[in-house]
Homo-oligomer: A and B are copies of this chain.
Amino acid sequence: MPSARKTSQQADADVFTAIAHPVRRRILELLADQEQNVMSLSQPFAAEISRSAISQHLKILQDSGLVEVRKQGREHLYRLEVENLNEVYRWIQQYERFWTLKLDALGEYLENADKHGV
């Protein structure tokens, strides 16, 4: 297997818990665009929470395996490691059939609405 290497740190924290906090979700979104250091990541939240808090959130994300660090000089560059989101993805996919049912119902409704002119 390609990435059988555990990249030195195993995901020992719950991913569902990691993404439960809106700030942590926002951090992941920021990292989706590009690798970033802590200062850069803290800036969007500067008005609300401190850099230290962001650092602590990053620790949680790191423990859950959703993020990895690379040290470059005095800055720590964080990048998204989305593989562990797979657990959430698979869990939620198990309810996909409910959506398709809903969508079928919606489709039927729209078709009828069209027929009867609404």
Q: Which residues of A come within 8 Å of B, CB atoms?
A: 2, 14, 16-17, 19-22, 25, 28-29, 32, 80, 82-83, 85-86, 88-89, 91-92, 94-95, 98-99, 102, 105-106, 109
Known: A91-B25, A102-B83. A109 touches B16 (CB 8 A): no
Whole-angstrom CA separation of A2 from B99 in the bound complex:
14
Chain A contact residues: helix, strand, loop or mixed: helix
Known: A16-B19, A16-B25, A92-B88. A82 touches B98 (CB 8 A): yes
Whole-angstrom CA separation of A20 from B16 in the bound complex:
5
Q: Which residues of B contact A92 (CB under 8 A)?
A: 85, 88-89, 92
